[in-house]
Structure 1
């Protein structure tokens, strides 16, 4: 709830510090005393537009600071603060400050942390609920009526929300599968052609490197053909170097035992024969490997060209062509399997849709029953508020399927008829501001146990009424405030007498300077202020006596 409001240099208020408590607080004062300034200051804290006209004449800036305290922060507030990365310790009050400069611009803070004005507006709905003569928010706005009725009904909207999410997920999965199959079928002929082309070649991993090496060897053999032939002739025949080495080795073998050096020479010669033999074998192998076969070379080059052309066509490396073949086969298999999978997805989507409809229809029935109960509760409040000719109706309308959503298949709007035989119309279409405020009060009383903002403010709800109606308004405001905090700006003594705390707003002038002040009244001050409200400018003994009776009667 709102515990303090500090105002600096806003219009006629130079400096003002107010404290508030639970229950019903009333604010009174003569017309023009400055009650609207308090609401303007609170509006700044709640994210209203920062008008430079709010800055007191002659000052550079103005500010308003409000403190709200909770046993536990409402989830709507804690979630918004978390999203904005604003840290508030458990049990710590929420201090919101707004500063406006005379030359334009404003800054906002939550617990001394800079925040956006958008965040203030986001927090406002959970902090303060304001009802005035021309209110177009809160209970008047049809956009919030469905949530109010659901809270009144204790409806299981979460179940419908979960069913909606499951249905939408199933629909997305089905549509994605359909799109994928349609695209695959459109590409089926192309897939078959590509696979046939690859299958006819049957590429193998590592084949490109093998072919390229073989081609390189053949091309080298073509260049080395003359040298290889000369070497072959040198190693062939009885007069070749190797033949002569072997002949020398045989002769030396016969005389090697005659001297140690001859034996050593023989050993060296034997090694030379072995090395020369190995060289001959390697020359023969090299000659075979480097043999230039024009037909084989042409076959290898053709194969390389085909493989590389296919790789470019599929945007991959040659070694990746076997994987491309596997992928094409998988896509074709998926097309064949797709219809079976699609049937399963269709059944899943239908089941999820049926579950959503069942949950939404149950919610619809709960809303209809709760609407009738709410209509009866509001009707019981209308006559004491001098609205006995009026009627209230909760319209629960089933929407077309394209407008269904996580909150169900219903639209909800509160309608009224102010005269016998008149058509029902939306709350915000009512002509009389006084009637609108009383309708809001009746509806608020009927919905009192369903929660709402931490602080509720009624601005001159009693305008244009008096006597028994004013008493009825005061009694209902006090009843609403019994479980929380309610502030009422009022001109009615009957309403003022119901207040647990009473603030008097006064305007004074000294020379060319005009100021607005607010005082919290004690028992004697309350009697005097209520007597003034009863008698006018001159407070008479009769007015004081009547004020006493009003205060004693509450």
Structure 2
């Protein structure tokens, strides 16, 4: 409930302070006096966008503050706690400063907060029904909230929310497993292709080093052949000129020693020389065969191609061929382990089917509760419209359960729309498109009265401040008096502030403020003052006839008295 509103330097308002009544407060005044600026001040502290152009001429900044009495509201308390705001003695102070240049600043109980926090707080504290404030009720989300509040379907919504969350959890697990399975399939394909590639090359552990060494030898074959041939010639003496080789010379030495024949004096030396000769012949034969092999292999293309294939394997899975072979062997084991998910996938698919069935059943129960409430709310609002100078108008809450695979969302399976028909035989249309500003305000009043009646029957509702602007557009006479009566009825359940030009409406208020204007120092200034007693009678008389004649005053006093008597009897 709004206990106090204070405004400084906002448009034509230099300074104003209001203390709305607990019940109904009327704000009256001549057209153009600045009543709309009071609503703009409330919009500011409700988190609406700031407009520096509305700062009073010559002022540095505009400032507005609201003081609200708050009770125990878990949602409101959660918003305050998250913002780090502490309420003292049950009073919440929210303010907004809009400089002529620069950014606005929002404050709650002395703590700077984001503008969005003011918007969240205002949702629990204030509802403005004016031509520029009705779009919020046009949203499907807000209409669903209103219907659910009227239906008091907390148990059904909680049951559905539990089923929906269970379904989403299983679907999340399924999606993760599907992504994992897709990754596993990709990994399996990669392993299969890699193993096949390695198998095609069929590397051996030391093959690369051997091939590179062999390639080096082949590339230097001429140099090697020449050196080996010279070595062989030196060892076995074959070749041109039949020059003796080392082996021949060792043989000559053996023959020379054997010719001495002195009691085996050189037998040991002869044995050693014979062994040396045998070793030399073996080396010679080995070198000769080596020359034949190397000299006979000239085609390096095959070896270079093989080395290229082995190098590529080593770069991808090495660094050595031993590492490549070890990786391939391990990959074969890993490939066998990648087929373990189909069973888990089938299990989750079964769980999802069951969870979806439970969610659909819960959604159907919730939908049934909404349909019943929609029928009751439609009838209740229709009943109020006749009392608000809207004969023949009709209001209908359309609840349409969706069908198909994508029918469910976080709020059930229902598309909800508030439909309005301004006169008989007119085509029902979404209410924000089919009702004028005044009609829409009265329609919202009819809805709030219906909601308040339900709350009275079924429990206490969180106190709200309802602000109505243009609710009396196109209304007068007896219909205006009935409009005031309906506003006063709503004020028995909540705080009501109405901006009105009808004396029949203003007379029902518990407190009345008059907004007037005057020229001061070259500027038009707006003044806001509370009127009571004779002053209030004079304001009502002005609203009735534009004058404060004795006849008008008598009529005003009679109107105030009859309204007071009716309020006491309601």
TM-score using structure 1 length: 0.73
> Using a 3 Å threshold, how does the CA distance of structure 1 residues 323 and 6 change in structure 2: closer, same or farther?
farther
Matched, 1:386 2:398: no
How many matched pairs?
452
In 2, the alpha carbon distance for the partners of 1:489 and 1:511 equals 28
In 2, the alpha carbon distance for the partners of 1:24 and 1:320 equals 87
Aligned to 1:552: 565
Matched, 1:333 2:327: no
Alignment equivalent of 2:380, drawn from 372, 377, 381: 377
Aligned to 1:465, what secondary structure does the other structure show? Answer: coil
Aligned to 2:430: 426
Aligned to 1:42: 42
Question: Offset of 1:545 from its aligned partner?
Answer: 4.2
Give the root-mean-square deviation of aligned CA atoms. 3.4
CA contact (8 A) 1:391 1:417 kept: yes
In 2, the alpha carbon distance for the partners of 1:524 and 1:15 equals 25
Aligned to 1:119: 117
CA contact (8 A) 1:27 1:503 kept: yes
Question: Offset of 1:17 from its aligned partner?
Answer: 2.1
Q: Which has the larger displacement, 183-192 or 33-42?
A: 183-192
Aligned to 2:159, what secondary structure does the other structure show? Answer: helix
Question: Offset of 1:74 from its aligned partner?
Answer: 4.8
Aligned to 2:406, what secondary structure does the other structure show? Answer: helix
In 1, the alpha carbon distance for the partners of 2:429 and 2:106 equals 39
> Using a 3 Å threshold, how does the CA distance of structure 1 residues 362 and 80 change in structure 2: closer, same or farther?
same
CA contact (8 A) 2:134 2:432 kept: yes
Question: Offset of 1:193 from its aligned partner?
Answer: 7.0
CA contact (8 A) 2:360 2:408 kept: no
Aligned to 1:462, what secondary structure does the other structure show? Answer: coil
> Using a 3 Å threshold, how does the CA distance of structure 1 residues 182 and 100 change in structure 2: closer, same or farther?
closer
> Using a 3 Å threshold, how does the CA distance of structure 1 residues 552 and 179 change in structure 2: closer, same or farther?
closer
Q: Deviations over 1:187-209 (max 9, x none)?
A: 4355357679999xxxxxxxxxx
> Using a 3 Å threshold, how does the CA distance of structure 1 residues 24 and 329 change in structure 2: closer, same or farther?
farther
Question: Offset of 1:510 from its aligned partner?
Answer: 4.2
TM-score using structure 2 length: 0.71
Aligned to 1:220: none
Q: Which segments of 5 or more consecutive residues in structure 2 lack a partner in the other structure? A: 200-310, 456-460
Q: Which has the larger displacement, 410-419 or 461-470?
A: 461-470
Matched, 1:58 2:81: no
Q: Which has the larger displacement, 442-451 or 184-193?
A: 184-193
Aligned to 2:410: 406
Alignment equivalent of 2:522, drawn from 504, 512, 520: 512
CA contact (8 A) 1:46 1:123 kept: yes
Aligned to 1:174: 174
Aligned positions of 1:33-182 closer than 5 A: 33-75=33-75, 77-83=76-82, 85-89=83-87, 91-155=89-153, 156-182=156-182
CA contact (8 A) 1:311 1:321 kept: no
> Using a 3 Å threshold, how does the CA distance of structure 1 residues 381 and 127 change in structure 2: closer, same or farther?
same
In 1, the alpha carbon distance for the partners of 2:359 and 2:318 equals 46
Aligned to 1:298: none
Matched, 1:478 2:476: no
In 2, the alpha carbon distance for the partners of 1:173 and 1:311 equals 39
Aligned to 1:7: 7
Q: Which segments of 5 or more consecutive residues in structure 1 lack a partner in the other structure? A: 200-307
> Using a 3 Å threshold, how does the CA distance of structure 1 residues 326 and 479 change in structure 2: closer, same or farther?
farther
CA contact (8 A) 2:538 2:548 kept: no
Aligned to 1:344, what secondary structure does the other structure show? Answer: helix
Aligned to 2:511: 501
> Using a 3 Å threshold, how does the CA distance of structure 1 residues 322 and 169 change in structure 2: closer, same or farther?
farther
> Using a 3 Å threshold, how does the CA distance of structure 1 residues 316 and 359 change in structure 2: closer, same or farther?
farther
Aligned positions of 1:164-243 closer than 5 A: 164-188=164-188, 190-191=190-191
> Using a 3 Å threshold, how does the CA distance of structure 1 residues 379 and 51 change in structure 2: closer, same or farther?
same
Question: Offset of 1:122 from its aligned partner?
Answer: 3.1
Alignment equivalent of 1:344, drawn from 332, 347, 354: 347
In 1, the alpha carbon distance for the partners of 2:325 and 2:47 equals 64
In 1, the alpha carbon distance for the partners of 2:190 and 2:521 equals 94
Question: Offset of 1:81 from its aligned partner?
Answer: 3.5
Aligned to 2:528, what secondary structure does the other structure show? Answer: strand
CA contact (8 A) 1:65 1:98 kept: yes
Question: Offset of 1:437 from its aligned partner?
Answer: 1.7
Alignment equivalent of 1:459, drawn from 452, 463, 469: 469
Q: Which has the larger displacement, 359-368 or 190-199?
A: 190-199
In 1, the alpha carbon distance for the partners of 2:410 and 2:555 equals 58
In 2, the alpha carbon distance for the partners of 1:96 and 1:315 equals 69
In 1, the alpha carbon distance for the partners of 2:312 and 2:492 equals 85
Q: Deviations over 1:456-480 (max 9, x none)?
A: 1001311221222212221221121
Matched, 1:444 2:448: yes
> Using a 3 Å threshold, how does the CA distance of structure 1 residues 513 and 333 change in structure 2: closer, same or farther?
closer
